[in-house]
Chains A and B, each alone.
Chain A
């Protein structure tokens, strides 16, 4: 019989709260995480707002020296992992750490450190580049730090697939548990790319909203007047555990992770395939993989970036997969509140999906004001909705044409 995978721990750092409790309260309150950029002087940038993490204080978890040796993305990862491990109630001195691993992805990695050290290279010369530059910057280092910190000696690496990164990490981790390589996996994603190069690059790509006169309403997924995504930052990490391993230690189980669908569009580096073909294929794979009926799905935490193309195409894909049931289930984009956390999106959005399943409440899509004829599903506009949530799907799609969908359900 196939080994089952459950979620026993969760941790987040987000633009609307730096713990799972704060995050969930903010999601249900429809809190807006978007603000004028404070992390650098953005006065020369086309977009001058973002969804920044507020009041982040890593000092309860990291020493000043550790903080200096970790890029912001890595600090988010370790901080969120710490919450997730505490939440799981795992006693790391009693479990077999050879069978516990970590897969932590980041879409971009330590770009803030890259920028700073590149400036040092240009102004003060190559001999002044920090000996920590490489280990500040490389994307896999968050998984490395977490393994060292907690003694996790099982599988350890990073995934990189732009905005699908965290979902690939979590899906891979679940499969390693299913295949018997590990019993416990700490997994998810983190991102910190709100910096001059990050914003300039996404601006040049014409991906970001430029609603500078009204940032609070800039992230408006599925609304007719959406004009691009809002760059966010943070980390979302879960503890996955083999079901019997969790049951034997009397763990509190949040939900079961039972479906994974990974595909590619094979179409264009940034534009989604017409009709969302790759996304359709990913959701269909997930349904088959989970052994569920499409009608069992009550909630889709959409990729819903608030770009004109994504939201239209994702809507088409959901309708193709679910037919009439597409109008029965709830869809929402929590990016309306958090902005787009890129490689961390799949992490915090899986946490939101788990909480929806656990509490039978669907978090809303805020800033939904004018319906778009191309987007005609129930997007849970502006207010959370109570309803039974048996299965929730978290969709993530990344530049490069990567699609990753993950399903979570109530534990049976």
Chain B
């Protein structure tokens, strides 16, 4: 499973939304019905799944599906080095 697919699965499960709604530009709060606590939980789920630590100042920029994929992609690359 690709990173993007894993991220999508987590979003579908945590936010209880239909998979087809989880498109790259979908905004967690504006498009997927999350509230601010849901986004905190989502970031924690990413940390858990990918075994990374996401500082609060980075977390506040993870607001869309695309930003999550890009951020975690970079983070995973760095941790591979």
Q: Select which of B15, B16, B37 is within 8 A of A131 by beta carbon.
A: B37
B76 in the interface, Cβ–Cβ < 8 Å?
no
Q: When chains A and B are docked, how far (Å) is the Cα of A198 from the Cα of B41?
A: 27
Across the interface, name the chain A residue whose C-beta is closest to B41. A131
A1 in the interface, Cβ–Cβ < 8 Å?
no
Q: When chains A and B are docked, how far (Å) is the Cα of A63 from the Cα of B17?
A: 11
Q: List residues of B (17-67) whose CB comes within 8 Å of A's CBs.
A: 37, 40-41, 44, 47-48, 53
Q: When chains A and B are docked, how far (Å) is the Cα of A65 from the Cα of B15?
A: 7
Distance in Å from the Cβ of B34 to the closest Cβ of chain A? 10
Distance in Å from the Cβ of A122 to the closest Cβ of chain B? 16
Cβ–Cβ contact A127 & B15, under 8 A:
no
Q: When chains A and B are docked, how far (Å) is the Cα of A252 from the Cα of B53?
A: 58
Across the interface, name the chain A residue whose C-beta is closest to B53. A127
A44 in the interface, Cβ–Cβ < 8 Å?
no
Distance in Å from the Cβ of A119 to the closest Cβ of chain B? 15
Distance in Å from the Cβ of B40 to the closest Cβ of chain A? 4
> Which among A63, A132, A135 has the greatest number of chain B C-beta atoms within 10 A?
A132
Cβ–Cβ contact A132 & B16, under 8 A:
no
Across the interface, name the chain A residue whose C-beta is closest to B15. A65
Cβ–Cβ contact A64 & B16, under 8 A:
yes
Given the interface pairs A63-B16, A65-B15, A65-B16, the reply to whether A132 lies near B37 with Cβ below 8 Å is yes
Across the interface, name the chain A residue whose C-beta is closest to B54. A127
* Chain B interface helix/strand/loop/mixed: helix
Cβ–Cβ contact B48 & A131, under 8 A:
no
Cβ–Cβ contact B40 & A131, under 8 A:
yes
Residues of A within 8 A of B41 (CB): 130-132
* Chain A interface helix/strand/loop/mixed: helix
Residues of A within 8 A of B40 (CB): 131
Q: List residues of A (113-168) whose CB comes within 8 Å of B's CBs.
A: 124, 127-128, 130-132, 135
Across the interface, name the chain B residue whose C-beta is closest to A65. B16
Q: List residues of A (49-87) whose CB comes within 8 Å of B's CBs.
A: 63-65, 68
Distance in Å from the Cβ of A125 to the closest Cβ of chain B? 11
Q: When chains A and B are docked, how far (Å) is the Cα of A68 from the Cα of B37?
A: 13
Across the interface, name the chain B residue whose C-beta is closest to A135. B37
Q: List residues of A (96-123) whose CB comes within 8 Å of B's CBs.
A: none
Cβ–Cβ contact A127 & B16, under 8 A:
no
Distance in Å from the Cβ of A64 to the closest Cβ of chain B? 5
Residues of A within 8 A of B44 (CB): 127-128, 130-131
Q: When chains A and B are docked, how far (Å) is the Cα of A68 from the Cα of B34?
A: 14
Residues of B within 8 A of A63 (CB): 16
Residues of A within 8 A of B16 (CB): 63-65, 68
Residues of A within 8 A of B48 (CB): 124, 128
Q: When chains A and B are docked, how far (Å) is the Cα of A124 from the Cα of B45?
A: 13
Distance in Å from the Cβ of B21 to the closest Cβ of chain A? 14
Residues of B within 8 A of A124 (CB): 48
Distance in Å from the Cβ of B61 to the closest Cβ of chain A? 18
Across the interface, name the chain B residue whose C-beta is closest to A64. B16
Across the interface, name the chain B residue whose C-beta is closest to A130. B41
Q: When chains A and B are docked, how far (Å) is the Cα of A271 from the Cα of B47?
A: 49
Q: When chains A and B are docked, how far (Å) is the Cα of A128 from the Cα of B41?
A: 9
Distance in Å from the Cβ of A63 to the closest Cβ of chain B? 7
Q: When chains A and B are docked, how far (Å) is the Cα of A385 from the Cα of B40?
A: 56
> Which among A64, A124, A131 has the greatest number of chain B C-beta atoms within 10 A?
A131
Q: When chains A and B are docked, how far (Å) is the Cα of A65 from the Cα of B41?
A: 12
Q: When chains A and B are docked, how far (Å) is the Cα of A130 from the Cα of B16?
A: 17
Cβ–Cβ contact A127 & B47, under 8 A:
yes
Q: When chains A and B are docked, how far (Å) is the Cα of A127 from the Cα of B52?
A: 12
Distance in Å from the Cβ of A199 to the closest Cβ of chain B? 30
Residues of B within 8 A of A128 (CB): 44, 48
Q: When chains A and B are docked, how far (Å) is the Cα of A289 from the Cα of B23?
A: 63
Q: When chains A and B are docked, how far (Å) is the Cα of A82 from the Cα of B41?
A: 28
Q: When chains A and B are docked, how far (Å) is the Cα of A130 from the Cα of B53?
A: 15
Residues of B within 8 A of A68 (CB): 16
Q: When chains A and B are docked, how far (Å) is the Cα of A130 from the Cα of B44?
A: 8
Known: A128-B48, A130-B41. 8 other contacts (CB 8 A): A63-B16, A65-B16, A124-B48, A128-B44, A130-B44, A131-B37, A131-B40, A132-B37
Top-5 shortest CB links A-B: A65-B16, A131-B40, A131-B37, A131-B41, A64-B16
Q: List 12 A-B contacts (CB under 8 A).
A: A64-B16, A127-B44, A128-B44, A128-B48, A130-B41, A130-B44, A131-B37, A131-B40, A131-B41, A131-B44, A132-B41, A135-B37
